[in-house]
Structure 1
């Protein structure tokens, strides 16, 4: 009788051990069915407007269209992009001296007394070097932009002596193949900003050294004639909002920000005045204060 009990107990113990052994064994069927998350990466979002960036490392100018995965070398010497009276930090390109879009890449530069532009309209497959002006003195202010595939502008200043300098505006109507200079404003104050809102309407803002009020000149005939715009500044903001920035389109009218200049201290010096024009820039009325984070 005792032998029978021991035999049954032994069988139960062996069964328990076998059950535990098979319980901990991995199931091949489970391995086949369970997805491997490391081998199935999540889909990356699609970007309609991927950022185009540039690099100046190792004294080489390069751009990328795919967030840095591939870099395209630009056929230009880095130093050429900083020539002139104002050289910038050379750690980054001078603001407004270049264009980086999928439809147009352009670099405005000064080389051997000539103002030139290197551009591409096929994402760097081919390049065009264009002479904008020759025998020009060392440049200070420089700005270029295209409003469409045909019309673009270049604003340059140079030959600075104390608070005086020459300034010139050049326009293209054929996508940058040829450039023509507009008539001069005959203003010799230092250029602060400028730009065009269409092929006929353009602006030049003057005065960057201790200005007391903004001075904005406007053309409505493609640069054939320039006249000073009337900016109606409320008494409260006189000698506060003193430098006009380039106007821009806002609905059916033009808008413009006027900043406080380098010495402004009103509410920290960063608040700007917003002005509106209903006559294509001839006259401007105050709209409101604009905070730095707007």
Structure 2
């Protein structure tokens, strides 16, 4: 790679993601993990490219500028953009003119190393970590085989802009960089415990009749039985300037009328558990001993008013993760660490749950189409063994991700997320013996949460109209340039709400049906369904029902055309379904 410097390679047990550090004597640090050849090659080539381009010096320059102009949000933005450009430039240099197969392998290697992205990085180092949105853009650039401009040019330009921005002061009321509205009014489905689906996104695995919402300021708002609304004494991160351990995906929630528990933190201090026994009227905070490094995924739940469990992780690298189990018998006041399956299996966990004080389960990310990978205990976590869940042969070839099991006495419900290529769905296994045996129940396929709304016709008042910023999307303007048409269509939109209510990173979808007097449908014999910020998986017409299975996307829209003759004249039901099986129904009453 035409590098004249002597580069040291070291294994460091204190880090969980590869990085390069050192100004005059650069060294590449690797976590104490077993790498496959493909991943190791990608890691080394990427970090050597940083060394070859002296990126650590550029990073020093950027951090100095940010330190001087700490009050300017534009500087923070430019520094973040420039550092992202460093990574993109190195990616481009490594992949060169390689084919799509190599690029896919490279993406997989990068993805494996960013699992520890909430781990605190050394300021003067280069590594693989990054935010969710930036990683999406990074992968898109890697997979784009067209010729791209060199990232170093953009980096230099960004640095120049940063230097020129010293006279610009654009602070918000708190004197800090502006907060992203990504989580603004983001609703989350009610649930007993959370889990991680096949797409790697946190979800709620069970609807317990209660909800929690993260507003634009990061406040956690709880609703009990759709009536009582309270604000929990906790503020989570809503920007990239976060404190590790306070990210929504890394926070464990258990919400019920009898017991509410929220597990958070764990970065260089013990995990904190907020507990309420009176629907949020009063709260107490308790620390979990020996959990100082458990800043990442947390799954918490209660079997009785007093007996509960907490499974937490310090983070992951290359798909591996240590996971630790804590139990309480006094309602969450004190937590005692018990055994764990780390010696048997140490991968990213995707869910956890206990059916009794003795029996508990942990589900893990799957790496092949065999799965699901589950370990269980029958002695309060003291010992663990692999659990063999028999799956019907019809699901052979699917990656099977076990989410979090939910129990009511001896009865259990376990959502299993399936994935084969772009085909994603959720099936349910049931148990009647505290989880000792499970069977597939196909009657539960449609048991996702279902909420119905009525599309208001043009002659009726629209109770909660919305004008979504999605209507200003350049893609939409290109096809529908007439602004009045956009506004007219917007009046007939369902009010904006998170269709992906089960995901911790919700995607917003606006849905509308064109009316007889609207002209945006290319064919008057068709009904147009416009869906924003999502990627359509499939569309199925079954009688009066139209099922639209969608996955989240950063930007853009898709228009689905259906023949009017294929639908009943009196009503048409439109369903948007997230991959984990939750359903929101829209009923158009003519």
Q: Tell me the TM-score normalised to structure 2 length.
A: 0.35
Is 1:222 the counterpart of 2:376? The answer is no
2:558 alignment partner in structure 1 = none
The question of whether the paired residues in 1 share the 8 Å contact of 2:237 and 2:246 is answered with no
1:291 alignment partner in structure 2 = 445
How is 1:224-239 mapped onto 2 (pairs within 5 angstroms)?
Answer: 224-239=382-397
Matching residue within 305, 313, 321 for 1:149 = 305
Higher helix proportion, which one?
2
* Aligned equivalents of 1:160, 1:227: Cα separation in 2: 22
CA change 1:241–1:284 in 2 (3 A) is farther
1:188-215 Cα distance to aligned partner (Å, 9 max, x none): 1110111011111110011255554211
1:243-266 Cα distance to aligned partner (Å, 9 max, x none): 1233344786544332214x554x
2:317 alignment partner in structure 1 = 161
CA change 1:208–1:56 in 2 (3 A) is farther
Shift, 1:167, TM fit: 0.5
1:31 alignment partner in structure 2 = none
Structure 2: gaps spanning 5 or more residues:
1-207, 449-590
1:188 match: secondary structure: coil
1:200 alignment partner in structure 2 = 358
Shift, 1:182, TM fit: 1.7
1:68-89 Cα distance to aligned partner (Å, 9 max, x none): 8x86554334349x7537834x
* Aligned equivalents of 1:99, 1:185: Cα separation in 2: 23
Structure number with bigger Rg: 1
2:129 alignment partner in structure 1 = none
The question of whether the paired residues in 1 share the 8 Å contact of 2:353 and 2:361 is answered with yes
How is 1:169-208 mapped onto 2 (pairs within 5 angstroms)?
Answer: 169-186=325-342, 187-208=345-366
CA change 1:195–1:237 in 2 (3 A) is same
1:215-237 Cα distance to aligned partner (Å, 9 max, x none): 11111111111111112234332
How is 1:47-86 mapped onto 2 (pairs within 5 angstroms)?
Answer: 53-54=212-213, 56-63=215-222, 72-79=230-237, 83-84=243-244
CA change 1:148–1:238 in 2 (3 A) is same
CA change 1:237–1:84 in 2 (3 A) is same
The question of whether the paired residues in 2 share the 8 Å contact of 1:83 and 1:109 is answered with no
RMSD after superposition: 3.6
* Aligned equivalents of 1:285, 1:62: Cα separation in 2: 36
Matching residue within 108, 111, 118 for 2:263 = 108
Higher strand proportion, which one?
1
Structure 1: gaps spanning 5 or more residues:
1-48, 89-93
